[in-house]
Structure 1
Amino acid sequence: MTMSNDVRHEAIVCVRLKTTIAGSHLLEHLRAQPFVTSAWWIAADIDAVVLLSAPSMRELHRAVADLRLLGGAQDADTHMVLRQMSLTAQPR
């Protein structure tokens, strides 16, 4: 079985920064990462939400690990995206 080259593995990562890390540090890290699709600052018990998209699970796991090691994340809770929901009404 051959896999299509356009297959992407996606994850939504909830990030809580270490108390010693400035938000600007995370922002610089995210801007330099090739698999970061979008990111949002959040007013909650987390600091940011990051959407990652990578061509392989290995690269996706590496991107999450880098959030911890290089991005300054104390916690990086990862939620794998399975498939998009269709929000258009289906004909009856």
Structure 2
Amino acid sequence: MKPLHPDLSKQRPSTAQRKREHAIQTNRLFLLALARAARRGLEHATFGTFVDPTPPIGAKRYQPEMVLSGCGSPAEMCTRAHVHAIGSRALMK
């Protein structure tokens, strides 16, 4: 009689399993290289999280704009106040 569950160790590993094993292997190699560099004094590893305070390249700071009346545009408010005579005549037409 055949067993219900086949022996999984004899099966070929799946792509996901190979990727996982590759990631584990590269992680171990990186840690070995880091330990070697630390022994030579080329690298100073510390525990904890490192936060880089420098802003990213191309970062922009946005300045808030002055809030104007929601009833109209600044140009309309200017024409009503007749601040600029030529502009008020052009917009009133």
Q: Normalised by the size of structure 1, how large is the TM-score?
A: 0.20
Higher helix residue share: 2
Higher strand residue share: 1
Q: Which has the higher contact order (CA 8 A, sep 6+)?
A: 1
Larger-gyration structure (1/2): 2
Q: Normalised by the size of structure 2, how large is the TM-score?
A: 0.20
